Structure 1
Amino acid sequence: MIEPVTLAIPKGRILDEVLPMLAQVGIVPEAAFSDPASRALMFATSDPGVRIIRVRAFDVATFVAHGAAQVGVVGSDVLMEFDYSELYAPVDLDVGHCRLSVAEPVALAAGDDPREWSHVRVATKYPNITRRHFEARGVQAECVKLNGAMEIAPVLGLADRIVDLVSSGRTLVENGLAEVEVIAQVSARLIVNRAAFKTRSGQIAALIDGFRMAGAQRAA
């Protein structure tokens, strides 16, 4: 019996938009997937050749890069942060749209010009992207790594600025911050382990084609 392909999908903001696409591809998770009382992390699907694991967004790329999962769905922000050579991202799913931005307190932003920065202290869960972005502009970036609650870092004096995902911008406004610079536009991507694509090309190519068709139908 052929081992099912393991598809890693993220908890959080992307999941609700990805589930209808999965259904279009013919992959419907078992009932336990939608059960809030369930603590399971691996689920069977309506396709016996595919099983799903649900993990944190940052961990999706790690599971796929190391071959524990063969396929995954993850935001392009995660791919930019980790830049795993083992990953191939064949499909932009055109969901999960947001942007990765620099923000700072409104009072500071009122008289601030990012073009004049020479050194910044930034709270972020994206230290690699942040350093690369500022280094390209000749700005020294001191990054304070946080996994959440970025918006309160300036209030508490941990850092003057933050780099984080922004969608509507409401969270920034409610915490007295203003978006001052966009680093990158972000969307969800289908990712594949390069080695698995060679050894299980038939199964994985069918999934890639299915997601491409689902994306085309969604865009039509």
Structure 2
Amino acid sequence: MNDLTIAMPKGRIFEEAYELFVEAGFDLPKEINDSRKLIVEAPNENIKFILAKPMDVPVYVEHGVADIGIAGKDVLLEQHRDVHELLDLYISKCYIATAGLPNTQMNEIAPRVATKYPTIATNFYKEKGEQVEIIELNGSIELAPMIGLADRIVDIVSTGQTLKENGLVEYEKIVEISSRLIVNPVSYRVKRERIKEFVAQLKNELHKR
């Protein structure tokens, strides 16, 4: 009953979360970082990691195959999964913004916005009282203004270098993003003490930073 299953995305978030866990005193195998396995055990901590795509982490947590997950706030805002957000880990910081070609206005008749975050983009323009056509793309969002597909894009911005290299400029910042610790509601009831101890250990490390 004290075992924990944690869903984590591979890549930058995983690397920063792994470092946080180790610094917080969790005894994790070093080979987790280099493993090609999708399920990795940390027997000394009674923890099992499911390594998944970022967008899939909240799905695993919502359906209870993982007790806990680490997900970007962008994913949580986009999906609205039935999970509890327990802790801001302050890692993988970035933000979502609108961008487009320099010195260009939105088309007044049929403005179009390309993004892989349709929910976030729709809500943003709705709050501004602007009606736009959302074009959902899964990659190379920067192409859309360059080829005339859209007036603006809504995307993650980290350093702004990708926008700059593609001749785009940022127009409006929408929301700050960082990685959050989420939990399945049933797991939080059934494994409450174990999860509270886990969170407390992480909080203790975060307060040192």
TM over 0.5: yes
Deviations 1:41-94 (A, max 9, x none): 11011534211111111111111111111101111111111122x211121111
Aligned length: 209
In structure 2, how many angstroms separate the alpha carbons of the residues matched to 1:157 and 1:119? 13
CA contact (8 A) 1:74 1:191 kept: yes
Kindly indicate whether residue 208 of structure 2 is the aligned counterpart of residue 209 of structure 1. Answer: no
Q: Kindly provide the amino acid, as one letter, of the partner of residue 52 in structure 1.
A: F
Q: How many Å apart are 1:18 and its aligned residue? A: 1.4
CA contact (8 A) 1:74 1:190 kept: yes
Q: Kindly provide the amino acid, as one letter, of the partner of residue 8 in structure 2.
A: I
Q: How many Å apart are 1:190 and its aligned residue? A: 0.8
Deviations 1:155-197 (A, max 9, x none): 2232221111001100000011100001101111111111110
Gaps of 5+ in 2: none
Q: TM-score, normalised by structure 2?
A: 0.91
In structure 2, how many angstroms separate the alpha carbons of the residues matched to 1:31 and 1:90? 26
* CA RMSD after TM alignment: 2.0
Q: How many Å apart are 1:150 and its aligned residue? A: 0.7
In structure 2, how many angstroms separate the alpha carbons of the residues matched to 1:12 and 1:163? 22
2:166 — aligned with what? 175
2:38 — aligned with what? 41
Percent of matched pairs sharing the same residue: 36
Deviations 1:76-134 (A, max 9, x none): 111111122x21112111111111000001242xxx3x7x9675311111100110111
Q: Kindly provide the amino acid, as one letter, of the partner of residue 95 in structure 2.
A: R
1:141 to 115, 132, 135: 132
Gaps of 5+ in 1: none
CA contact (8 A) 1:29 1:52 kept: no
1:66 — aligned with what? 63
